Structure 1
């Protein structure tokens, strides 16, 4: 088995997937924040959309971590996983209701919705990559020098 096949068999994500995940997260969040900064709405409305965005990202990471922990037989309480799923659903509901009732053009609503959805997907992919790289480096500590700093640090 070649070195690349061995790395992929052990769950190491490719550099292209790691890079694409970070670019998607950066692009989704940047688009959302630029739109929020330029929006003509009350500061309280901007705060609402910022808080819902951050809640959604944190909840998506928590769901990914909880599901992955269970798949790897790491103890996860049903309460934790239930709260994580509940908060993700709450963030999705709040974003939907907030955009539905916002006095924005339909194209602006779509802009925020796509930025939010893209960021949720990307943050899960980034968390998966961080965790996969950390697991790979636990098995192959000699390979750590080839990765960018910080990718293998968290789980």
Structure 2
């Protein structure tokens, strides 16, 4: 009877181990990938909810939304270009330069927009700035995780 219980326990343990997906060498952990994705969703959601609830004109809301999209796209594009260069994948200087330019312009436009707007208080300006920075950083991290996971699985 005791052996039957031990055999059953061992079989359950083996089944649990089979269900777990093994992490490849160089692949980020599931916890890190999940935290990065959650951070991206939280940052973008907070920014958009803040825009939706803001007491500003629709054209101002569109301006800040467009800056968020430009910042997200340019940050991921720059991360990819930097990573490609590091790995010896050809990247044209024009693409690399445009990626840097677009990211810097998005940050500059965000700063200028927040500095010049009179329709929101200082604490809201800080909120938008932090949500913007959080979203950009999280987008870079999520893209890096995707690339690291893909590369680790290709090697295996």
TM range (shorter): 0.7 to 0.9
**RMSD of Structure 2 on Structure 1 (CA):** 1.3
Deviation at 1:137, TM superposition (A): 1.4
Cα displacement (A) at 1:16 = 1.0
Q: 1:71 aligns with which of 86, 96, 120?
A: 86
Q: TM-score, normalised by structure 2?
A: 0.83
Structure 1 match to 2:69: 54
> 1:3-51: per-residue Cα shift (whole Å, max 9, x none)?
xxx83xx320011110110011000001000000001111110000000
Distance 2:69 2:52 in 1: 15
User: Is 1:38 the equivalent of 2:53?
Assistant: yes
Larger CA Rg, structure 1 vs 2: 2
Note the C-alpha offset of 1:138. Answer: 1.0
Match of 2:95 in 1: 80
Which residue does the alignment assign to 2:9? none
Encode CA deviations 1:107-133: one digit per residue, 9 max, x unaligned.
000110000000000000000000011
Note the residue ranges of structure 1 that are not aligned, 5 or more in a row. Answer: 1-5, 141-155
Q: Runs of 4+ in structure 1 displaced over 6 angstroms? A: none
Matched, 1:131 2:147: yes
Write the distance in 2 (CA, Å) between the matches of 1:81 and 1:24: 26
Corresponding residue for 1:112?
128
Task: Determine helix, strand or coil for the equivalent of 1:82.
Answer: helix
Once residues 136 and 50 of structure 1 are traced to their aligned partners in structure 2, the CA distance between those partners, rounded to angstroms, is 35
TM-score for both structures, normalised by structure 1? 0.84
Q: Which has the higher contact order (CA 8 A, sep 6+)?
A: 2
> Where does the alignment leave 5 or more consecutive residues of structure 2 unmatched?
1-22
- Tell me the CA shift for residue 139 of structure 1: 1.6
